[in-house]
């Protein structure tokens, strides 16, 4: 009787350990998929902002007599975009639990761009023709 109880409780403990370990692995996969999706969304927003700055530049260049002011405005827009890129990545990192930071390979926009390139290559490689 005691032996049966011992086997039962050791099975229950083994179940708890294995289910915990499987849960950790699954949560890591979900976390990585979610952060990758966020990075791709940030990249899409960045592309839209770059396009709008380019359109703004083209429209302002057609304004005669204000070349110096147009250059200042465009440089200011480009600085703001560069700052936004870094701030958005840092804010994303700050919003995550500290225990998940070890799973990330980036801490700024330049490093995040490398991950975005990897994701795009992976996505293109997975397409069938």
In a domain, residue 11? The reply is: no
Per-residue pLDDT reduced to its tens digit, 60-115 = 887 777 778 888 999 999 999 999 999 999 999 888 888 888 888 888 999 999 99
Q: Give residue for tokens 């926009």.
A: 109
User: What is the model's pLDDT at position 129?
Assistant: 44
In a domain, residue 6? The reply is: no
In a domain, residue 2? The reply is: no
Per the CB < 8 A criterion, the answer to whether 50 and 129 are in contact is no
In a domain, residue 19? The reply is: no
Where in the sequence is the domain holding 73, given as residue range(s)? 30-125
In a domain, residue 16? The reply is: no
Rounded to two decimals, the pTM is 0.75
Q: Is 70 exceeded by the pLDDT of residue 126?
A: no
Q: How many domains does the chain have?
A: 1
In a domain, residue 18? The reply is: no
Q: Which long-range contacts (CB under 8 A, 24 or more apart) does 78-84 make?
A: 78/53, 81/46, 81/49, 81/50, 81/53, 82/109, 84/49
In a domain, residue 99? The reply is: yes
Per-residue pLDDT reduced to its tens digit, 16-73 = 887 777 666 778 888 889 999 999 999 999 999 999 999 998 888 877 777 788 889 9
In a domain, residue 8? The reply is: no
Mean of per-residue pLDDT scores for the chain = 86
């Amino acid at each position: 009787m005691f032996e049966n109880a011992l086997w039962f409780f050791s099975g229950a403990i083994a179940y708890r350990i294995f289910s915990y370990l499987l849960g950790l692995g699954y949560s890591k996969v979900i976390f990585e998929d979610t952060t990758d999706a966020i990075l791709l969304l940030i990249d899409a927003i960045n592309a839209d902002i770059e396009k709008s700055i380019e359109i703004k530049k083209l429209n302002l260049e057609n304004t005669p007599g204000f070349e110096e002011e147009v250059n200042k405005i465009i440089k200011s827009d480009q600085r703001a975009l560069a700052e936004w890129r870094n701030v958005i990545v840092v804010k994303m990192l700050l919003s995550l639990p500290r225990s998940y930071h070890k799973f990330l390979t980036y801490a700024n926009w330049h490093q995040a761009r490398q991950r975005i390139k990897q994701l795009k290559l992976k996505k293109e490689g997975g397409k069938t023709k």
